[in-house]
C-alpha cells in the first residue's frame, strides 16, 4: 500500500498513558498498535485505544454547535452559539447573583491538555461557588488525605510497583482498569514482574476479580468495611513491634497517637464485621511488615465508600509505619517535567478543604468545589444562591453520579444549560446549546495530570493526527471564545505555548526539556525512576508528615458508632449490598457508541452468587428487579461465584434508554444505570465523596 504514514501518540482514554503506533492513509486508519519504542509503555495497549478510530468516524458525534428548539436540535453558527451562551449566563448572574450558575466538569477534562489549561480560567471567569466535578464520585478521599498529611492535595504517594517485593491491593482492579492514581502502563505485566523477582501481591475485594485471579493471595471483604481492616493491620504491626521509623524518623509527627488509636482495633474485634478471619489478618500484617519492601495501594473501591477519607489516610499510615514510604519499593512522590505540585512553591496554591459549606446540605468545600452528590439539591432547593443555569463540561453526571435520575429532573428545570461535549447523551440532552469540540485523534496532547501520578518520571507530547474540519473547534478554543465574551479579555496563548513555557521552567529545565525536545522524541523522554524527596517535597508548615490529622481522628468517632450499627444492620428490607465493576471494553459512560467495544455478550448484567440466586429461585440470564431506597431497575442476572455471597454487582455508565439522546449504537445496547439505585444522601460524611459501596438492595423475580 502506498502513502501509508506512521503517527505516534499517547492514548488519552484512561490513566495508563500507553504509547500508540498508528498507521494511516489520508483520513483512514490502517492500524492502531502499541508503540514498542514508547519509553514508558513499551508496546502495551488495550482494546479501547483501537476504538479511537470509531470515535473519530462516529456519525453521531457532533461537530458544530446545536440548539434545542421546539422542532428538535438545530445547527447554529459558532458565533451565535458563543454570543447566546455568554449572554444567557451573564443575564442569569445579573438577575440572581453569580452563584446562580453552576459548573460540572467530568473525567475527560483531565485527559485533555487544552481543557486542563483553558477550562480553569473560563470557570474562574464565572466567579461562582457552585462548582462540581467528577472528583467527588472518585478520588476526593485521596486529595484530602494528601492535603492533611503532606500539605498539598495533589501530592499523592505512588506505589513503586517496579521495585517492590510485596504489594497489597485493596479495592482496585488494575488488570481491567489499567490503574488509577497510579499511572503504570502494562499494569498486569508489572504485577507479574513482582512475582518473577520473588515477591508477591495480595488482593482484597468483595469480588474475585481479574487482578485477584493472578494474585498470590486473595481475601474477600464485606463492602465498606476496609477502614476496620486497615486499623487491624496497623494494630498488629504495633503490637508485634514491627513498626519501624528508620529514615522517616525526623519527618513524622503523630506516631504515638496512631499507636494508641490502633489498640482499639484488634483483629479479633473486627474480624466478623469485615468477614476476614483473625489469623489471616495477622498473617497479612506480619508479611507486609516483614517484606523487604512493601506497598499498600487502595483505589476506587476504598475511596467510594462510607469511610473513604479515613481509608486513604490509613493506607498512607500503613506504608509509613512499616518504613515503606519515600523509599525505593514503597510509596513515593513523583517529580514530573510539568510539576503541578511544585508550582505551589510560587503560587501558594496547595488545595483547600472546608473553608466554607454548601448552601443546602452544608457539605464541605474542597479546592473551590462542592461534592456532586449535592448538585441536585442546589438546583431544586429554592432560595438565595439556587442554581438556575448549568455549564456541563465533558461530563455525564446523569449516569455517573448518585441518584442520577433526580439530577436529570433537576436539569430539566433549569432556566439555561450549556454543554461542552461531543454527544447528545443522557446529560447533554437537557442543554439548550451544545458546543462540541474536537476529540482524541484530532487533538494534540500532553498528560499534565498523569505524568504527575506515574510510577516513573517521563515526558511525552502527542501532536495532532487528523486536522480538524473547517467548522470544528478545539475545547481550548471554545473556552477562549467564552472567556473573551464574559471578561472582555483575550487569551492569546495556545496549549503548546503554555506547555513549552512550563517545560522550560520546570524541574528538568537543566535537561533542556522543551516542546522542541519532545517533538524530536516521539516515543517520549525518560527522566528516571522515582526518587526519595523528603522533607523538601512536603508542603506542611513544619515540613513534617502529619500522621494523625485532627479531622481523621475525629472521624474515628463516627467509625466507632458505625461499627456498632453495622452489627445490627437491616438485612430484612434490603438484604444485599450493591457494588460496581468495570469492563476492559468500556470507558465510564461514553464509549458505548463504538461497535468495536460493544459487540459480543451483553455486559450490563447483575452478578450474583449462586447461593443468593438459589434463595431467590432465579436462573441465569433471567431478568430481575433490583430495588433500593431510591428506585428500581430491571436487569438480567449472571450467576457467578466470583462475587461473594450477600453482594451483587452492576457496572456503571449504562442506561442509554432515554429517547432524546443520539447515540444509535449505544441505544441499541442500552443497559440500565446503577446510579438510578445509588443514594445521593449516602456519602462519606468526612470528605463528601459518594459512598457507592454502601448501596443496599433487594432483588425480586420479574413476574
Q: State the residues that interact with ligand SF4 by CB under 6 A.
A: 11, 13-14, 16-18, 45-46, 48-49, 178, 185
User: Which span (221-229, 234-242, 359-367, 490-498) binds ligand MGD, by CB under 6 A?
Assistant: 221-229
Nearer to ligand SF4, 243 or 447 (CB): 447
- Find out whether 514 and 504 touch, Cβ atoms under 8 Å: yes
Partners of 298 in the β-ladder: 170
Binds ligand MGD by CB under 6 A, chosen from 99, 128, 130, 209: 209
Nearer to ligand SF4, 368 or 463 (CB): 463
**Residue 675 contacts which entry, Mo ion, ligand SF4, ligand MGD, none (Cβ below 5-8 A, type-dependent):** ligand MGD
The residues, ordered by sequence, that sit 6+ positions from 278 with a Cβ below 8 Å of its Cβ are 267, 268, 271
The least CB distance from residue 58 to ligand SF4, in Å, is 17
Nearer to ligand SF4, 14 or 276 (CB): 14
Q: Looking up cell 476492559, which residue turns up?
A: 584
**Residue 221 contacts which entry, Mo ion, ligand MGD, ligand SF4, none (Cβ below 5-8 A, type-dependent):** ligand MGD
The residues, ordered by sequence, that sit 6+ positions from 605 with a Cβ below 8 Å of its Cβ are 635, 636, 637, 638, 650
Contacts of ligand MGD in 6-35 (CB under 6 A) = 14
Write the interaction track for ligand MGD spanning residues 103-122; mark x where CB under 6 A is met and - where it is not.
---xxx---x----------
The least CB distance from residue 401 to ligand MGD, in Å, is 6
Cell digits of residue 574: 434490603
Per-residue DSSP letter, 363? P
Write the interaction track for ligand MGD spanning residues 561-600; mark x where CB under 6 A is met and - where it is not.
------------------xxxxxx-xxxxx----------
**Residue 421 contacts which entry, Mo ion, ligand MGD, ligand SF4, none (Cβ below 5-8 A, type-dependent):** ligand MGD
Nearer to ligand SF4, 225 or 585 (CB): 585
- Find out whether 209 and 642 touch, Cβ atoms under 8 Å: yes
Binds ligand MGD by CB under 6 A, chosen from 331, 633, 674, 697: 674
Q: Residue 288 and residue 323: Cα distance in Å, rounded?
A: 11
**Residue 135 contacts which entry, ligand SF4, ligand MGD, Mo ion, none (Cβ below 5-8 A, type-dependent):** none
User: Which span (132-140, 283-291, 324-332, 489-497) binds ligand MGD, by CB under 6 A?
Assistant: 132-140
Q: Does 693 bind ligand MGD (CB under 6 A)?
A: yes
CA-nearest of 63, 101, 10 to 448 is 10
Q: Applying CB under 6 A, what is the total number of residues that bind ligand MGD?
A: 62
Partners of 28 in the β-ladder: 25
User: Which span (32-40, 134-142, 530-538, 632-640) binds ligand MGD, by CB under 6 A?
Assistant: 134-142
**Residue 206 contacts which entry, ligand MGD, ligand SF4, Mo ion, none (Cβ below 5-8 A, type-dependent):** ligand MGD
Q: Residue 392 and residue 419: Cα distance in Å, rounded?
A: 5
Cell digits of residue 133: 466535578
Binds ligand MGD by CB under 6 A, chosen from 174, 254, 309, 371: 174
Cell digits of residue 546: 502529619
Nearer to ligand MGD, 243 or 555 (CB): 555
Spell out the SS3 assignment of 477-524: HHHHHHHHHHHCCCCCCCHHHHHHHHHHCCCCHHHCCCHHHHHHCCCC
Q: Which residue number has the CB closest to ligand MGD?
A: 301
**Residue 45 contacts which entry, ligand MGD, ligand SF4, Mo ion, none (Cβ below 5-8 A, type-dependent):** ligand SF4
Burial of 347 (0-12, 13-18, 19+ CB in 10 A): exposed
Give the 3-state secondary structure of residue 446: strand
Nearer to ligand SF4, 17 or 548 (CB): 17
Nearer to ligand SF4, 13 or 168 (CB): 13
Nearer to ligand SF4, 10 or 334 (CB): 10
The least CB distance from residue 107 to Mo ion, in Å, is 5
Q: Residue 629 and residue 697: Cα distance in Å, rounded?
A: 8
Nearer to ligand SF4, 18 or 274 (CB): 18
Give the 3-state secondary structure of residue 228: helix
The least CB distance from residue 689 to Mo ion, in Å, is 12
Q: 656 vs 226, 377, 397, 570, 631, CA distance in Å?
A: 33, 24, 13, 32, 17
- Cα angle for residues 193, 586, 468 (degrees, 5° grid): 105
State how beta strands 632-639 and 606-608 pair: parallel
The least CB distance from residue 4 to ligand SF4, in Å, is 21
Binds ligand MGD by CB under 6 A, chosen from 184, 221, 276, 389: 221
Write the interaction track for Mo ion spanning residues 486-525; mark x where CB under 5 A is met and - where it is not.
----------------------------------------
The least CB distance from residue 425 to Mo ion, in Å, is 17
Measured between its terminal Cα atoms, the distance across the chain in Å is 59
The least CB distance from residue 49 to ligand SF4, in Å, is 3
- Find out whether 665 and 592 touch, Cβ atoms under 8 Å: yes
Q: Residue 537 and residue 507: Cα distance in Å, rounded?
A: 12
Write the interaction track for ligand MGD spanning residues 403-442; mark x where CB under 6 A is met and - where it is not.
-----------------xxxx-x-----------x-x---
**Residue 425 contacts which entry, ligand SF4, ligand MGD, Mo ion, none (Cβ below 5-8 A, type-dependent):** ligand MGD
Q: Residue 251 and residue 374: Cα distance in Å, rounded?
A: 38
The residues, ordered by sequence, that sit 6+ positions from 544 with a Cβ below 8 Å of its Cβ are 251, 252, 253, 535, 538
Render the burial of 358-375: b for 16+ CB within 10 Å, e for the rest. bbbbebbbbbbbbbbbbb
Write the DSSP assignment of 627-680 as a string of letters.
E-SS-EEEEEEEE-TTBPTTEEE--SS-----TT---HHHHHT----GGGTS-T
Write the interaction track for Mo ion spanning residues 117-146; mark x where CB under 5 A is met and - where it is not.
---------------------x--------
Burial of 278 (0-12, 13-18, 19+ CB in 10 A): middle
Nearer to ligand SF4, 49 or 289 (CB): 49
Nearer to ligand MGD, 282 or 582 (CB): 582
Nearer to Mo ion, 138 or 432 (CB): 138
CA-nearest of 510, 489, 513 to 499 is 513
Cell digits of residue 301: 473501591
Q: Residue 116 and residue 108: Cα distance in Å, rounded?
A: 10
Q: Which residue number has the CB closest to Mo ion?
A: 138
State how beta strands 445-446 and 461-462 pair: antiparallel
**Residue 11 contacts which entry, ligand MGD, Mo ion, ligand SF4, none (Cβ below 5-8 A, type-dependent):** ligand SF4
Nearer to ligand SF4, 175 or 291 (CB): 175
Cell digits of residue 588: 465510564
Rg (Cα) of the chain, in Å, rounded? 24
Contacts of ligand MGD in 175-204 (CB under 6 A) = 176-178, 180, 204
Q: Residue 151 and residue 130: Cα distance in Å, rounded?
A: 25
Chain contacts with Mo ion (rule: CB under 5 A): 138
Residues contributing to the site for ligand MGD (CB under 6 A): 14, 106-108, 112, 134, 137-138, 170-174, 176-178, 180, 204-207, 209, 221, 223-224, 226, 299-302, 305, 394-397, 400, 420-423, 425, 437, 439, 475, 579-584, 586-590, 652-653, 674-675, 678, 692-693
Amino acid at each position: 500500500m502506498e502513502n501509508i504514514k506512521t503517527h505516534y501518540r499517547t492514548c488519552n482514554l484512561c490513566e495508563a498513558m500507553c504509547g500508540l503506533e498508528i498507521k494511516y492513509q489520508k483520513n483512514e486508519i490502517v492500524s492502531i498498535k502499541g508503540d514498542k519504542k514508547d519509553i514508558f509503555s513499551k508496546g502495551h495497549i488495550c482494546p479501547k485505544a483501537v476504538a479511537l478510530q470509531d470515535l473519530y468516524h462516529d456519525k453521531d458525534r457532533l461537530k458544530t454547535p446545536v440548539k434545542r428548539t421546539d422542532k428538535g436540535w438545530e445547527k447554529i453558527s459558532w458565533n451565535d452559539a458563543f454570543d447566546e451562551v455568554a449572554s444567557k449566563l451573564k443575564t442569569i448572574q445579573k438577575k440572581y447573583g453569580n452563584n446562580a450558575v453552576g459548573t460540572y466538569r467530568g473525567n475527560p477534562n483531565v485527559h485533555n491538555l487544552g481543557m486542563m489549561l483553558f477550562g480553569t480560567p473560563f470557570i474562574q471567569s464565572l466567579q461562582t461557588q457552585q462548582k462540581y466535578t467528577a472528583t467527588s464520585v472518585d478520588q476526593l478521599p485521596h486529595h484530602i488525605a494528601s492535603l492533611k498529611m503532606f500539605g498539598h492535595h495533589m501530592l499523592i504517594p505512588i506505589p513503586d510497583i517496579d521495585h517492590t517485593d510485596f504489594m497489597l491491593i485493596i479495592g482496585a482492579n488494575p488488570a481491567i482498569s489499567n490503574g488509577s492514581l497510579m499511572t503504570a502502563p502494562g499494569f498486569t505485566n508489572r504485577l507479574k514482574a513482582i512475582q518473577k523477582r520473588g515477591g508477591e501481591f495480595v488482593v482484597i475485594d468483595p469480588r474475585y476479580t481479574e487482578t485477584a485471579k493472578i494474585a498470590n493471595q486473595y481475601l474477600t471483604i464485606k463492602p465498606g468495611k476496609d477502614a476496620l481492616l486497615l486499623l487491624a493491620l496497623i494494630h498488629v504491626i504495633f503490637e508485634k513491634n514491627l513498626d519501624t521509623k528508620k529514615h522517616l524518623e525526623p519527618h513524622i509527627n503523630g506516631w504515638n497517637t496512631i499507636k494508641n488509636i490502633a489498640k482499639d482495633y484488634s483483629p479479633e474485634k473486627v474480624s466478623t464485621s469485615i468477614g476476614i478471619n483473625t489469623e489471616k489478618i495477622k498473617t497479612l500484617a506480619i508479611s507486609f511488615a516483614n517484606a523487604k519492601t512493601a506497598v499498600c495501594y487502595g483505589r476506587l473501591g476504598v475511596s467510594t465508600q462510607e469511610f473513604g477519607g479515613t481509608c486513604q489516610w490509613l493506607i498512607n499510615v500503613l506504608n509509613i509505619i512499616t518504613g515503606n514510604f519515600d523509599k525505593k519499593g514503597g510509596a513515593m512522590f513523583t517529580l514530573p517535567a510539568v510539576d503541578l505540585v511544585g508550582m505551589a512553591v510560587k503560587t501558594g496554591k496547595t488545595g483547600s478543604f472546608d473553608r466554607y459549606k454548601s448552601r443546602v446540605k452544608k457539605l464541605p468545600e474542597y479546592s473551590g468545589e462542592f461534592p456532586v452528590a449535592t448538585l441536585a439539591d442546589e438546583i431544586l432547593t429554592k432560595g438565595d444562591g439556587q442554581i438556575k443555569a448549568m455549564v456541563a463540561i465533558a461530563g455525564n453526571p446523569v449516569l455517573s453520579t448518585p441518584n442520577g435520575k433526580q439530577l436529570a429532573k433537576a436539569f430539566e428545570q433549569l432556566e439555561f444549560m450549556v454543554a461542552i461535549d461531543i454527544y447528545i447523551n443522557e446529560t447533554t440532552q437537557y442543554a439548550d446549546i451544545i458546543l462540541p469540540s474536537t476529540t482524541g485523534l484530532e487533538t494534540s496532547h500532553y498528560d499534565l495530570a498523569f505524568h504527575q501520578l506515574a510510577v516513573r518520571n517521563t515526558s511525552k507530547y502527542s501532536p495532532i493526527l487528523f486536522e480538524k474540519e473547517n467548522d470544528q473547534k478545539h475545547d481550548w478554543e471554545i473556552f477562549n471564545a467564552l472567556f473573551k465574551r464574559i471578561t472582555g479579555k483575550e487569551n492569546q496563548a495556545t496549549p503548546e505555548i503554555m506547555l513549552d513555557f512550563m517545560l522550560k521552567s520546570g524541574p528538568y529545565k537543566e535537561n533542556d526539556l522543551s516542546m522542541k525536545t519532545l517533538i524530536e522524541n516521539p516515543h517520549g523522554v525518560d527522566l528516571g525512576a522515582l526518587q526519595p524527596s523528603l522533607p523538601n517535597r512536603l508542603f506542611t508548615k513544619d515540613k513534617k508528615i502529619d500522621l494523625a490529622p485532627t479531622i481523621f481522628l475525629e472521624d474515628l468517632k463516627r467509625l466507632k458508632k458505625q461499627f456498632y450499627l453495622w452489627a445490627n444492620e437491616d438485612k430484612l428490607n434490603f438484604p444485599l449490598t450493591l457494588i460496581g465493576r468495570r469492563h476492559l471494553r468500556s470507558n465510564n459512560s461514553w464509549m458505548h457508541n463504538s461497535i468495536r467495544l460493544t459487540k459480543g455478550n451483553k455486559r450490563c448484567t447483575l452478578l450474583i452468587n449462586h447461593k443468593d440466586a438459589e434463595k431467590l429461585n432465579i436462573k441465569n440470564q433471567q431478568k430481575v428487579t433490583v430495588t433500593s431506597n431510591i428506585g428500581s431497575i430491571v436487569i438480567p442476572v449472571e450467576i457467578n461465584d466470583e462475587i461473594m455471597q450477600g453482594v451483587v454487582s452492576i457496572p456503571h455508565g449504562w442506561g442509554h434508554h432515554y429517547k432524546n439522546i443520539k447515540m444509535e449504537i449505544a441505544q441499541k445496547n442500552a443497559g440500565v444505570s446503577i446510579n438510578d439505585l445509588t443514594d445521593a444522601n449516602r456519602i462519606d460524611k468526612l470528605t463528601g465523596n459518594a459512598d457507592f459501596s454502601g448501596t443496599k438492595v433487594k432483588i425480586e423475580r420479574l413476574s
